[in-house]
Amino acid sequence: MIWTTTIEPEGLADELEALRDEAKAVYREGAGPGSLTDEGLDYAVLDGDRVSELLPELAIRYASTFLNAARELTDLQLEVSPDTPSALNINYLDAGGRYELHKDAQPYTASWLVQDFKPWEGGWLTLYDDDGIAIWRQLPQRGLFVLFDGARLAHRVERTERLRVSVPMVFLPSGVEVERPDGLDEHIF
Ligand SMILES: [Fe+2]
C-alpha cells in the first residue's frame, strides 16, 4: 500500500534548500547494511537532532501535521519515532547524486517533497515489489507527502540532475520494538 497526499510547504521550501550546506555528506561505494544492490550512496543529510536545532518548525510539524496526515491516510494509530536522529531527516542529493535501492529498518516511512521536477531532471522516487519490479515511480512534486511500509517495499532515488531536497520521516505502529540494527544510523533512508 502506498498513500499520498499534499501538504503545502509554503515558506519552508526555501528554508530547506538554504540549509544544504549545513548537511553532512554521506558517500559510500558498494553495499552496506540494508543495501539490496551495490550502487552505493552519495547524498548529504541533516539528522533529527540537527533539524530540531536548525529548523524547529519542521520538528514541530513532524509531531503534528505530518503525524496526523499519516494516521488519517493509514487509519493506524501511528506514533513518531523516539529515535530522534533517524525519526526526521532532511536529505540532499546534489546533481549526479543517488540513493541506492534498500529497505528501511522499520515501518512506516514517509517522504515529503518540496520541489517541482521536470522528467528530464530525474530524482524519481521508485518503489519495488519483492520480484524487483518497479510498482510506483514519482517525480518530486511540491508538497507531495508519500507514505509506505519501507521495511517491506524496497525503494531508491534515481539519479538527479539538480539539487533534490526531501524530508524522510519514520512513523511507528503503537507498541513496536524501537531498537535499530547496528550500522543503520548511517543508512536510514
Ligand atoms: Fe528508505
54-64 confidence digits (pLDDT tens): 999 999 999 99
37 CA → ligand 1 middle, Å: 14
15 CA → ligand 1 middle, Å: 23
34 CA → ligand 1 middle, Å: 9
What is the reported pTM? 0.91
Which residues have C-beta within 8 Å of that of residue 150, sequence separation ≥ 6?
103, 104, 106, 107, 108, 109, 189
pLDDT digits (tens, 9 = 90+) for 92-149: 999 999 899 999 988 999 999 999 999 999 999 999 999 999 999 999 999 999 999 9
Residues with C-beta atoms within 5 A of ion ligand 1: 104, 150, 189
**Residue ranges covered by each domain of the chain:** 10-20+38-169
Measured distance CA(148)–CA(137) in Å, rounded? 13
Q: Domain 10-20+38-169: give its CATH code.
A: 2.60.120.620
57 CA → ligand 1 middle, Å: 23
